[in-house]
Structure 1
Amino acid sequence: MVSSRKEVDALSYQIVGAAIEVHKHLGPGLLESVYQRCMAIELGIIGLDFKQEMEIPIEYKGNKIEGLFRCDFLVEDLIVVEIKAVSETLPIHDAQVLNYMNLLKIPKGILMNFNVTNLFYNGQKTFVNKYFDGLI
């Protein structure tokens, strides 16, 4: 398990690099599912461990509610990655990533929108939470 902020930040750099590689080959305008499948291939190529379409359990008043939420990727059990292909991301997309991070107790999340001309400058948003603050 990665135990430092520096290592988590380095991991997020690799993830963003993988997304840029996908975007460089495909460009904007495709379906989210296409980017998601290509992102899985790219994460595998660079050797990162990830879970795709991972179900996020929810507990409500002692009752487990299953099957409602799935994050696109959980990389190295440290970073939630949510893929979009929309004209613009909205606050609800930010909330989605933050909720996934908190439910999974994950320190960092990245929201990627592939429907942009430049993924590096305007297609990604990074989030941290209290679990990141707990890292060394």
Structure 2
Amino acid sequence: MDENEIGTIVVDCAVKVHMRLGPGLLESVYETVLTYELVKRGLLVERQVVVPIVYDNLRFEEGFRADLIVGGKVILELKSVEHVTNAHKKQLLTYLRLTGLTVGYLLNFGEALMKDGITRTINGKLGGE
């Protein structure tokens, strides 16, 4: 399954979770339930994945934790805030660069409508583009 196919399932599941639970819960709640929905759809989901930082040829394991990595190809950064900021978007792009992954989604479950809380970010070019 490629990044676009995974992305389609991610968006579908995020909308479903948001419709059932509504906005305003803790991010950890959405992470748990979204993981359940994605696994139900047959996807491999890793939660709170440690992504190290390499600096001056030193590897620091305490770099950051990706909320979810789906299918080993797509990073999901979950938020439950009133509005996404540029800092949130830059954070996701940095995560993509550090992992070498190409596609990420910033999913803000704090929006009234989930469609307004989805930001897709691409690092470089996708294989088919």
TM-score bracket for the superposition, by shorter chain length: over 0.9
Superposed displacement of residue 68, structure 1: 3.1
Partner of 1:119: 114
Runs of 4+ in 1 over 2 A off after TM superposition: none
CA positional deviation for 1:134: 5.2
Q: Secondary structure at the match of 1:16?
A: helix
Secondary structure of the residue aligned to 1:52 is strand
Alignment of 1:1-136 (within 5 A): 2=1, 7-120=2-115, 122-130=116-124, 133=125, 135-136=127-128
Partner amino acid, structure 2, of 1:43:
L
Total equivalences in the alignment: 128
| Residue 117 (structure 1) shift | 1.3
2:126 & 2:21 partners in 1: Cα distance?
37
Amino acid at match of 1:44: V
RMSD: 1.1
Distance 1:8 1:61 in 2: 31
Distance 1:108 1:66 in 2: 22
SS in structure 1 at match of 2:39 = helix
Judged with a 3 Å threshold, the aligned counterparts in structure 2 of structure 1 residues 45 and 129 are, in CA distance, closer, same or farther, namely same
Q: Which amino acid aligns with 1:102?
A: R
- 2: distance between equivalents of 1:134 and 1:81? 17
CA–CA distance in structure 1, aligned partners of residues 127 and 55 of structure 2: 28
Q: 3-state SS of the aligned residue for 2:46? A: strand
Query: What is the alpha-carbon distance in structure 1 between the residues aligned to residue 3 and residue 103 of structure 2?
Result: 8
Write out per-residue CA displacement over residues 51-92 of structure 1, whole angstroms, 9 at most, x where no aligned residue.
110000110000111123001011111111000000111111
Q: Percent identity?
A: 31
Q: Structure 1-normalised TM-score?
A: 0.90
